[in-house]
Amino acid sequence: MQTPTGRTQRAADIIVITLAAAALHGMLAWQSDLVGGGNLRDTDAYMRLIRVQELWQTGNWYQTVTSSLGAPDGLSLHWTRPLDILILLPALLLHLGGMAIGSAIYWSGALISPLLHLLTCLAAAHAAKPVWERHGAWRVAALAILFNGAAITYSMVGRPDHHSLGLLLTVLGAGQTIRAVLAPNDARKSYGAGALAAMGIWISPESLVGVAPALITFGLLWLAKTSDGTEGAGQQWARLGRRFCLGMAATLLLAIAVEQPPAHWLTAEYDKVSILHLAIALLAALDFALAAAMPWTDWRRVVAAGLIAFLSAAALAWLFPRFYLGPLGDVTDQTVRIFLDDVKEMAPLWPTSTIAADQFFGLIGNTLAALPVIPYCLWRWWRQPAFAAGLFLSLSFLTALVGALLHQRLAVPLSAFGAILGCGLFAMLCDLVVNRLPITRTATRLGAAAIVIFGGQFWLVFTKAPPANAGTATNVASVACDPRYVADWLNAARPGIVTEDPIGADRTTPIILTESINYSPDLAYRTPYRFVGGPYHRGIDDIADMFNAAIGTDDTQVREIVNRREADYILICIREVPKAIGESAPGSLYHRLLRGEPPSWLQPVPMSAEAAREFRFFAVKR
pLDDT at residue 466 in the model: 47
Domain check: are 237 and 333 in the same one? Answer: yes
Residue 370 is classified by DSSP as G
In a domain, 123, yes or no: yes
The answer on pLDDT for 368 being more than 60 is yes
CA distance 249 to 191: 10
Domain check: are 498 and 431 in the same one? Answer: no
In a domain, 468, yes or no: no
In a domain, 372, yes or no: yes
Domain check: are 289 and 326 in the same one? Answer: yes
The answer on pLDDT for 613 being more than 60 is yes
Domain check: are 229 and 347 in the same one? Answer: yes
Q: What is the mean pLDDT of residues 387-400?
A: 96
CA distance 111 to 541: 33
pLDDT digits (tens, 9 = 90+) for 517-568: 889 999 999 999 999 988 888 888 898 899 899 989 999 999 999 999 999 9
The two most distant CA atoms of the chain are separated, in Å, by 85
pLDDT band at 1 (very low <50, low <70, confident <90, very high): low
Spell out the residues 6+ positions from residue 394 whose beta carbon is closer than 8 angstroms to its own: 374, 377, 378, 421
pLDDT at residue 167 in the model: 97
Cα–Cα distances (Å) from 198 to 187, 201, 246, 315, 518, in that order, read: 17, 5, 10, 21, 32
pLDDT band at 249 (very low <50, low <70, confident <90, very high): very high
Spell out the residues 6+ positions from residue 137 whose beta carbon is closer than 8 angstroms to its own: 128, 423, 424, 426, 427, 430
Percentage of the chain beyond pLDDT 70 is: 91
pLDDT digits (tens, 9 = 90+) for 164-208: 999 999 999 999 999 999 999 999 999 999 999 999 999 999 999
Domain check: are 440 and 509 in the same one? Answer: no
Q: What is the mean pLDDT of residues 594-605?
A: 93
Contact yes or no for 109/92 (Cβ under 8 A): no
Last residue of one domain, picked from the residues 427, 461, 495: 461
* Out of 210-224, 343-357, 416-430, least confident range: 343-357
- Looking at residue 199, its amino acid is M
In a domain, 326, yes or no: yes
pLDDT at residue 399 in the model: 96
In a domain, 264, yes or no: yes
Partner residues linked to 371 by β-bridges: none
Domain check: are 407 and 507 in the same one? Answer: no
Domain span including residue 278: 4-33+78-461
Q: How many domains does the chain have?
A: 2
Q: What is the mean pLDDT of residues 29-46?
A: 84
In a domain, 53, yes or no: no
* Out of 114-123, 162-171, 347-356, 595-604, least confident range: 347-356
pLDDT at residue 229 in the model: 47
In a domain, 40, yes or no: no
Cα–Cα distances (Å) from 186 to 133, 158, 230, 388, in that order, read: 21, 41, 22, 15
pLDDT digits (tens, 9 = 90+) for 555-569: 999 999 999 999 999
Domain check: are 406 and 503 in the same one? Answer: no
Q: How many CB atoms are closer than 10 A to CB 380?
A: 12
The secondary structure of 41-98, three-state, reads CCHHHHHHHHHHHHHHHHCCCCCCEECCCCCCCCEECCCCHHHHHHHHHHHHHHHHCC
Domain check: are 409 and 490 in the same one? Answer: no
**In 3D, which of 44, 41, 7, 9 has the Cα closest to residue 25?**
41
CA distance 525 to 529: 9
pLDDT at residue 336 in the model: 61
pLDDT digits (tens, 9 = 90+) for 471-527: 444 433 344 678 999 999 999 999 998 877 766 556 789 999 998 888 999 999 999
* Out of 34-43, 50-59, 348-357, 441-450, least confident range: 34-43
Spell out the residues 6+ positions from residue 145 whose beta carbon is closer than 8 angstroms to its own: 120, 121, 124, 151, 171, 415, 416, 418, 419
Domain check: are 94 and 188 in the same one? Answer: yes
Percentage of the chain beyond pLDDT 90 is: 68
Q: How many CB atoms are closer than 10 A to CB 158?
A: 23
Question: How would you label 439-459 residue by residue, b for 16+ Cβ within 10 Å and e otherwise?
Answer: eebeebbeebbebbbbbbbeb
pLDDT at residue 472 in the model: 40
Contact yes or no for 196/180 (Cβ under 8 A): no
pTM of the predicted protein model: 0.92
CA distance 300 to 8: 55
Domain check: are 453 and 493 in the same one? Answer: no
pLDDT band at 231 (very low <50, low <70, confident <90, very high): very low
**In 3D, which of 288, 292, 307 has the Cα closest to residue 248?**
288
The answer on pLDDT for 314 being more than 60 is yes
Domain check: are 395 and 539 in the same one? Answer: no
Contact yes or no for 115/149 (Cβ under 8 A): no
Question: How would you label 211-240 residue by residue, b for 16+ Cβ within 10 Å and e otherwise?
Answer: bbbbbbbbbebbbebbeeeeeeebbbbbbb
CA distance 332 to 452: 40
pLDDT band at 115 (very low <50, low <70, confident <90, very high): very high
pLDDT digits (tens, 9 = 90+) for 50-90: 999 999 998 999 988 999 999 999 999 999 999 999 999 99
Q: What is the mean pLDDT of residues 249-258?
A: 97
Last residue of one domain, picked from the residues 401, 429, 461: 461
In a domain, 47, yes or no: no
Q: What is the mean pLDDT of residues 281-288?
A: 96
Domain check: are 457 and 494 in the same one? Answer: no
pLDDT at residue 157 in the model: 95
Q: Is 504 exposed, middle or buried (0-12, 13-18, 19+ CB in 10 A)?
A: middle
